[in-house]
Chains A and B, each alone.
Chain A
Amino acid sequence: MSRVRLYLSNDTSSCAAGAERLAEAWRQRSEVELIRTSSRGAFFLEPMVERDSPDGRLAWCHVTADDLPKILAGDGGLPISTIPFLSKQTRHTFATFGVTEPLSPEAYQAHGGLAGLRTAQQLSSSAIIREIKTSRLRGRGGAAFPVWKKWDVAATTTADRKYVVANADEGDAGTYCDRMIMEGDPFRLIEGMLICGRAIGAQAGYVYCRQEYPKATACLHDAIRAADAAGWLEFDGRRFSIEVVSGAGSYVCGEETALLESLEGRRGVVRARPPHPAQSGLYGQPTIVSNVLTFATIPNILARGGSWHASMGTEGSRGTAVLQLGGRVKQPGLIEVPFGLTLREVLDQFGQGMADGARLKAVQVGGPLGSLFTDAQLDIPICFDAFAQADAILGHGGIVVFDHETDMLELSRHLMAFVADESCGKCVPCRIGSVRAREILETVQAGQATEADLSLLAELGDTMKLTSLCGLGGRAPYPVLSALERFPVEFRSRLRS
């Protein structure tokens, strides 16, 4: 009997959901050829097993080890193309997820990999940057700064050395797309960094990866070694080295200047800007610091043209939004769609509403510093400008849905305590403001606060917003003040009468 080829994701979340148990159970089965792939990101269906068919891949969902005979018989498989969560998406950066083996250079190239780098190798530095300008790509890490502007500054600054740094300190709770890229398509990140390196004339690249991602770190090490062996880590006849550096559990190291301090081995304390890293970054040299997802978006832009990328999305937010849905929805997972869908459409069409028995209370977008939305506010389009107008952030695309049991006062305290813990301590408004704000919220919880304390909280929040050195202190008040504004009874009913 010939062996049947089965595809099983090796992604951290797939394994945590049971994929690793299946792999262990089936490893000795002679009739199975198990291929470990990246994940499609439809995590609510995991563990998911696929096999080839004349109609494309068939999937079996929520698989247990005992389902093997059924799968081998081809009994009950669902064509991937009929899963609405996947078929309704517009996958570009994540197009090959679930299909390929992450660490195979051959598979990467067979699915269009390196086409962007090859194009870049034919172009001058300024022509590459022009293409990125045409694409209107904005950074995907949270700041949404036009990518070409940074590259242009770094390219036109004269220096002995220049660096490319991928920010893989994906610390916003509720986000995991960078982890998926590093584990599932690491060559795409490497290709994006190479293109950037050639555009600005850099000699070396670093990936600063958070320590909470051991598998991503290991995959990147292997991918860099494989890329080096394949001769990819060079352009213009000289070597471009890439090294992975581990963080050590500090959230603020996701802020670009704190990240650079940490990369130099020091405390991850924020630097005052200007100068911006593109002028003076790592060891004082011009440095492009961009998020993993931003680098992974670059290869397609070079391969398909900047105007292709600019043809998608909204006026100020071109291309696709990569959203990561979590919390109390029925269908959590990774979603890539053009910018412009409303938050409600995303929750309804992809999340398929709330988990059984749960009623929606609040939605937090953009990580622990993101504002909270109520049901009545969900018709906001997913794009940078609409969110900015609403005093909110898209951040890194994390969407966490909270249900009716959520205590908004306790959630607010938790978020402020997080900032107090993670503040680097450089500026007073963040270092002291976050502690005082947490104390006020604890006073409310203890039933000892008055209306004056809530006014003080709002005033403190304004000071932090206006005077903090970086986004940690500057954004910290938003979730708390949005909770206070949108769920006033939960705070005011606890005041001392």
Chain B
Amino acid sequence: MLGSMRYAVKTLPPNDLVDLLTRARPAEGAPPNILRVLHAIHDVCGSIDPGFIPAIAQSQGVTDADVAGVLSYYPSLNTQPAGRHRIQVCLGESCLANRCDLVVAAIRSQLGIDLDQTTSDGRFMLEPVSCVGNCAVSPSVRIDGELHGRVRPSDIAGFLDRYR
């Protein structure tokens, strides 16, 4: 549930951004929390438009550079618009040992994109992830909120068909 929320493609109307930032404003005397605000926006939009940086900075009482620094630091905060469906393929060591390279190759050849790319129709984005804690039934592929274990390259076509 949490996953599907995070991956939905939505835009944030200006008034909603103002509301969100107003709610995220630190209480009197309390410290700012940039990552918390970025999470809140990311949860709604699936990515963060760098154009929001000045407004976020103002709401937290920090500099634009502070916000840009946090935004660029964390791998799971996207600044590019998200695809409709997010495919995460695990490259952790247990998945490597169980030949996730073949799974990646199958996905790449079927979608015609590389890791960290989105298909031209916006249907799928493909991301590497370092361990989803599913090592005992690896290799692992997560599509939106759904995690698949013991994935074989031959499973991929069937998985992708279910997401339009």
Contacts and interface: CB of A to CB of B under 8 A. Distances in A.
Interface in B61-100: 66, 69-70, 73-77, 91-98
Interface in B20-40: 31-39
Interface stretch (A122-130, A171-179, A232-240, A485-493): A171-179
B147 A173 contact: no
Interface stretch (A8-16, A71-79, A272-280): A8-16
Interface in A172-191: 172-176, 178-179
Contacts of B75: 248-250, 421
Nearest to A422: B130
B97 A400 contact: yes
B147 A266 contact: no
A328 B70 contact: no
Contacts of A43: 136-137
Given A266-B35, A327-B98, A17 B73 contact: no
Nearest to B92: A173
Contact of A326 (B91, B130, B138, B148): B138
Nearest to B43: A246
Given A212-B131, A250-B74, A16 B93 contact: no
Contacts of A56: none
A264 interface: yes
A127 B34 CA distance: 40
Contacts of B39: 246, 248
B103 to A, nearest CB: 14
A361 to B, nearest CB: 10
B135 interface: yes
A15 B3 CA distance: 15
Q: Which 8 A-B pairs have the closest CB atoms?
A: A173-B92, A265-B33, A16-B149, A249-B76, A326-B94, A248-B74, A43-B136, A326-B135
Nearest to B137: A17
Contacts of B37: 265
A109 interface: no
Contacts of A368: 93, 130
A74 B108 CA distance: 45
Interface of B: 1-3, 6, 31-39, 66, 69-70, 73-77, 91-98, 129-138, 140, 145, 147-150
A264 B33 contact: yes
Contact of B136 (A44, A171, A328, A367): A44
Contacts of B131: 171-175, 212
Interface of A: 12-13, 15-17, 41, 43-44, 46, 170-176, 178-179, 211-215, 217-218, 245-251, 262, 264-268, 283, 324-328, 332-334, 364, 367-368, 398, 400-403, 406, 411, 414, 418, 421
Contact of B133 (A15, A213, A245): A213
A386 B3 CA distance: 41
B97 to A, nearest CB: 4
Chain A interface, DSSP helix/strand/loop, else mixed: mixed
Given A16-B150, A403-B97, 12 more contacts: A12-B133, A16-B148, A46-B137, A173-B130, A214-B2, A248-B38, A265-B70, A266-B34, A326-B93, A326-B136, A402-B97, A414-B96
A212 B70 contact: no
Contact of B137 (A16, A215, A406, A414): A16
Nearest to B129: A212
Contacts of B138: 326-327
A353 B53 CA distance: 54
25 contacts: A12-B133, A13-B137, A15-B147, A16-B140, A17-B137, A17-B150, A173-B95, A174-B131, A175-B131, A175-B135, A176-B136, A179-B133, A211-B76, A246-B39, A248-B77, A249-B76, A250-B74, A264-B33, A265-B37, A327-B138, A328-B97, A400-B94, A402-B96, A418-B130, A421-B75
A415 to B, nearest CB: 8
A17 B95 CA distance: 14
Contacts of A327: 93-94, 97-98, 135, 138
A465 B44 CA distance: 42
B87 to A, nearest CB: 14
B149 A17 contact: yes
B31 A264 contact: yes
A280 to B, nearest CB: 15
Given A15-B147, A267-B73, A400 B133 contact: no
Given A17-B150, A265-B70, A268-B74, A328 B129 contact: no
Contacts of B94: 173-174, 326-327, 332, 400
B144 to A, nearest CB: 11
B147 A12 contact: yes
A267 B6 CA distance: 21
> By CB atoms of chain B within 10 A, which of A174, A251, A325 has the most?
A174
A170 B133 contact: yes
Contacts of A411: 96
A367 B135 CA distance: 12
Contacts of B148: 16
**Chain A CB within 10 Å — which of B3, B66, B76 has the most?**
B76
Contacts of B91: 414
A268 B66 CA distance: 13
